Structure 1
Amino acid sequence: MKSGFALKKAVRGFTLIELMIVVVVIAVLAAIAYPSYQEYVRKARRTQAKADIVEYMQLAERYHTVNNTYVGFTLEAQQQRSPREGGTAWYTIAINPAATANAITLVATVSASTAQAKDKCGNLSISQAGAKGNTKGSTADCW
């Protein structure tokens, strides 16, 4: 039969040093993971903006097919759908420069007062010819 002393020795807790090591490891992981998470969030918002301007370009093409011009095409009715889920508008979509009979360019301008302003691609654009552009970074990385 074991003595009471032997039983007490078997029950053991964490030391303060072990607890501090765990806290440091969690802090290091959080310091690495959080910026990466923020970049993925910005990428998701950028992807939604790209989907929106491509959809609006399709509406512009339909308008051109019916009217044989881009002049007169507006985004006002469609603009109310963005952001689709409500909440913060990360991008503002506009026609820039003004549409002509045979040319139109849609630009998704990042809202400077939001966290999306740190996005590596900046403003996004697409023309009626399918030419895609952005104000920061490489087009291959952004589109």
Structure 2
Amino acid sequence: MKIQKGFTLIELMIVVAIIGIISAIAYPSYMESVRKSNRADAKASLNDVSQRLQRCFTAYNSYVHDSCAVGKSLDGGGTVSSGENLYTIAADGGDDIDATTFTLTATPVVGTSQAGDKKCETLTLSQAGVQGATGSDAANCW
């Protein structure tokens, strides 16, 4: 009697099905983890732009003084790209920046992994340090 070695087709199909089930669970969790870690880019950029605006206010008593490059670039609906180019930073959701107040908004760039972030769609930061967010889990974004 000759003994055959190897896998049957049924065994192989069971392994493929198990790998498919594990992948269907693991991939969305992995992508959520990537999105969560990429939010650090928005937070760092919001804090950086906010600090530069605060320096302008300290020096010129205005966030939009002619000598303040970042204030001028945000005034009139301008934007600043985040460090990793995953977010765009705008003042007051795209409106003009005020001489004494501002609210910065970080919005994901279309076509990046962050564009699918439904838990934290946008992040905001005001001149008073008030942090905010929109999305299904906005309370846990910062």
> Number of paired residues?
130
Are residues 1:137 and 2:136 paired?
yes
Q: CA RMSD for the aligned pairs? A: 2.2
Counterpart contact for 1:90–1:110, Cα < 8 Å = yes
Question: Pairwise mapping of residues 55-94 of structure 1 onto structure 2 (< 5 A)?
Answer: 55-72=48-65, 73-75=71-73, 79=80, 82-85=81-84, 89-94=85-90
Instruction: Specify which of 113, 116, 119 is matched with residue 118 of structure 1.
Output: 116
Question: Pairwise mapping of residues 5-84 of structure 1 onto structure 2 (< 5 A)?
Answer: 5=1, 8-9=2-3, 12-72=5-65, 73-75=71-73, 79=80, 82-84=81-83
State, as a whole percentage, how many aligned pairs show the same letter.
Answer: 47
TM normalised by structure 2 equals 0.78
Partner Cα distance (1:114, 1:83) in 2: 13
Partner Cα distance (1:30, 1:93) in 2: 35
Unaligned runs of 5+ in 2: 66-70
Unaligned runs of 5+ in 1: none
Partner Cα distance (1:112, 1:137) in 2: 19
Indicate how the Cα distance of structure 1 residues 102 and 84 shifts in structure 2: closer, same or farther if over 3 A, else same. closer
1:1-30: CA deviations, max 9, x gaps? xxxx4xx43x62111111111111100010
Partner Cα distance (1:52, 1:83) in 2: 5
Counterpart contact for 2:120–2:136, Cα < 8 Å = yes
1:115-143: CA deviations, max 9, x gaps? 42321111111001110111223443111
Partner letter of residue 100 of structure 2? N
Partner letter of residue 121 of structure 1? C
Q: CA deviation at 1:114?
A: 4.3
Q: Corresponding residue for 1:106?
A: 104
TM normalised by structure 1 equals 0.78
